[in-house]
Amino acid sequence: MNDVLRHDWTLEELQALHDAPLLDLVFQAATVHRQFHNPREMQVSKLISIKTGACPEDCSYCAQSSRYSTGVGAERMMDRAQVVEIASRAKAAGVSRVCLGAAWRSVKDNDQFDRVLDMVRSVTDMGMEVCCTLGMLTENQAKRLEDAGLYAYNHNVDSSEEFYETIITTRTYADRLQTLGNVRKTNVTLCSGGIIGLGESVIDRLKMLQTLAAVRPHPESVPINILSRVEGTPLADNADVPVWEVIRMIATTRLVMPKSDVRLTAGRVKLDPTAQAMCFLAGANSIFSSETEFMLTKAVPSPSYDADRELLSALGMTMRPAFANPHSSRAAECAAESAAGHSVVAVA
């Protein structure tokens, strides 16, 4: 049995977990999952792209990078009323969290950021958890988001440090960790994970888990994306990730970060209901759902509210209400880590 809440996993240990016979691994992960989470509850989020396209970054997987011809053009930033309207429909569908995404390299202290802060206040006032994913963030900007009531900030490390350099050249892994550290200086919870199917090795995936597990406390939410191949990007012709590898990654993530929500995100649409159920058994307890069949842009498909309602109902599961994460004592954990002299993010 794994030791709870470790920050010092060795690669050998991670590999031993990951490479165990699949059903042993799933059984172990399901056991740990049940110790820390209600296995009948699913955390469901709705992603709203508040500023789509024309991103200056060159992330090789992304439909929104201005470097590639993907058919996703620059759109004007959404206004508050539009966001509130989409959030209201999501709430009516049982969704507890709204994630506001912007195709920005980093946040600038301008009128657009003020408008995001307004959106955060409005959706929080509706009784929903709000997450933002806006690119790099300074400590001061993280504090302003905290003051506006932000519940979570998403910033993925995507892969291992070595592999990261081959998929993104316009920023460094250290930049990414810096933003995680800035968020950790506030009471905003952290959502950070990565993508499988970029062409990385299993060792890259495990190194990514090692990096995430070194964050103190562990990110409250760990998204595992499966690459959604986008026409026009350098990764458009990548091979599909075999379903067994998806299940292994979910189960290993659950074992390494037992208290975190493990989020089965982009690419879930590729998995049939039985494969999704296997991922849920292996510890995935968080998903994105959408009223249309798209998640982020028309290039990234997502299961719909109706399909997910049917799936959860077939599995005897319900949607977790907002602010009901049993492990949300983040502020106290952070204080304890600092008091013990640990830095919050192990910057390489």
Residues that bind ligand SAM (CB under 6 A): 61-62, 101, 103-104, 133, 135, 155-156, 158, 195, 225, 227-228, 230, 266-267, 296, 300
Amino acid at residue number 107: V
| Burial of 7 per CB tally in 10 Å (0-12, 13-18, 19+) | middle
Nearer to ligand SF4, 219 or 283 (CB): 219
Q: Phi/psi zone of residue 276: left (φ > 0), alpha (ψ -120 to 50 degrees), beta? A: alpha
For residues 310 and 304, give the distance between their C-alpha atoms in angstroms, rounded to a whole number: 10
Q: Would you give the binding string for ligand SF4 spanning residues 52-81, x where CB under 6 A is met?
A: ---x-x-x--x-xx----------------
CA angle 274, 279, 280 (to 5 degrees): 95
- Among residues 323, 249, 245, 316, the alpha carbon closest in space to that of 284 is found at 249
* Min CB(73)–ligand SAM separation in Å: 16
Nearer to ligand SAM, 153 or 305 (CB): 153
Partner from ligand SF4, ligand SAM, none contacting 266, C-beta within 5 to 8 A by type: ligand SAM
* Min CB(60)–ligand SAM separation in Å: 9
- Preceding peptide of 258 cis, ω within 30°: no
Partner from ligand SF4, ligand SAM, none contacting 65, C-beta within 5 to 8 A by type: ligand SF4
| Residues near ligand SF4 (CB under 6 A), total | 9
Q: Which residues are catalytic?
A: 55, 59, 62, 99, 131, 191, 263
Establish if 135 lies at the interface with ligand SF4 (CB under 6 A).
yes
Nearer to ligand SF4, 142 or 230 (CB): 230
Question: What residue ranges bind ligand SF4 (CB under 6 A)?
Answer: 55, 57, 59, 62, 64-65, 103, 105, 135
